[in-house]
């Protein structure tokens, strides 16, 4: 069974701090990696995609991928209360074509 | 205004009833998906379709059925055989797999919350 693991949290950070969210995956040959943000009662929204080792930055968000360690992370700089949500890590497994495997999500709480 | 729509937003089912959840997209996406989300849990794949008139079972297909008669539409029926259907149901779509531009990103509709009475 191919798995994606996340710490459920809650991860509590003060406003203006860096939030660091982590995800590990079991399928060594996974190809594509995504972070979705889900506000309470709403559907997931794609915020970052990463496909190769290293860092990818988009505004206050940075995704980091280390395929050797089977590890992907999301950094949120200058965290705002509006960033408070559950963050879902998703992975395209080997041979999975369009399929995604989701982690259970990490709940982030940014307090003023 | 392109996007994915799901209806209804809230749905209540009595024991023994079949209910159908609607999902429509105007993004010209080839692939469509149905997921189920239970409180505090991740998304679990019910069914997916990569092309019209073809669909495959996901990880938790028992008690559900789908059809894909049009590219834009992928309705999900929750049958009476599904013993614990209360959940948040999410429809998603994506471009077909392949090519440098197409890496598996899926985009979600607003969801349908189903409750069994």
- pLDDT reading at B15 higher than 90: no
What confidence score (pLDDT) does residue A19 get? 97
Q: How many CB atoms lie within 10 A of CB A3?
A: 12
- pLDDT reading at B105 higher than 80: yes
- pLDDT reading at A11 higher than 50: yes
Mean pLDDT, to the nearest integer, of A92-99? 74
Partners of residue A56 in chain B, C-beta under 8 Å: none
Describe chain B by its helix, strand, coil percentages, rounded to 5.
0, 50, 50
CB atoms B50 and A8 under 8 Å = no
If phi over 0 gives left and psi between -120 and 50 gives alpha, with beta otherwise, what is residue A111?
Answer: beta
**pLDDT tens digits, residue range A61-77?**
999 999 999 999 999 99
What confidence score (pLDDT) does residue B103 get? 72
Mean pLDDT, to the nearest integer, of B32-52? 92
Question: Which residue carries 């049009």 as its tokens?
Answer: B70
CB atoms A34 and B41 under 8 Å = no
Q: How far is B87 from chain A (nearest CA, A)?
A: 11
Mean pLDDT, to the nearest integer, of B26-37? 94
Banded model confidence at residue B97, pLDDT cuts 50, 70, 90: low
Nearest to A56 by CA among A39, A72, A70: A72
What confidence score (pLDDT) does residue B100 get? 47
């Amino acid at each position: 069974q191919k798995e994606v693991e996340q710490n459920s949290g809650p991860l509590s950070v003060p406003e203006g701090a860096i939030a660091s969210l982590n995800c590990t995956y079991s399928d060594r040959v996974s190809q594509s990696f995504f972070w979705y943000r889900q506000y309470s009662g709403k559907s997931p929204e794609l915020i970052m995609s990463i496909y190769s080792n290293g860092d990818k930055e988009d505004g206050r968000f940075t995704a980091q991928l280390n395929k050797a360690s089977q590890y992907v992370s999301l950094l949120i700089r200058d965290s705002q209360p509006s960033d408070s949500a559950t963050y879902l890590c998703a992975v395209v497994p080997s041979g999975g074509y369009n399929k995604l495997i989701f982690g259970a999500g990490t709940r982030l709480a940014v307090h003023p | 205004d392109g996007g994915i729509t799901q209806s209804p937003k809230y749905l209540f089912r009595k024991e023994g009833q079949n209910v159908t959840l609607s999902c429509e997209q105007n993004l010209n996406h080839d692939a469509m998906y149905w997921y189920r989300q239970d409180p505090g849990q991740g998304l679990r794949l019910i069914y997916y379709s990569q092309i019209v008139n073809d669909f495959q079972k996901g990880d938790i297909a028992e008690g559900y059925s789908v059809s894909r008669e049009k590219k834009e539409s992928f309705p999900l029926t929750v049958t009476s055989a599904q013993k614990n259907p209360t959940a948040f149901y999410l429809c998603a779509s994506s471009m077909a797999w392949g090519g440098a531009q197409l890496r598996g990103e899926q985009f979600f509709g607003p969801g349908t919350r189903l409750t069994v009475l």
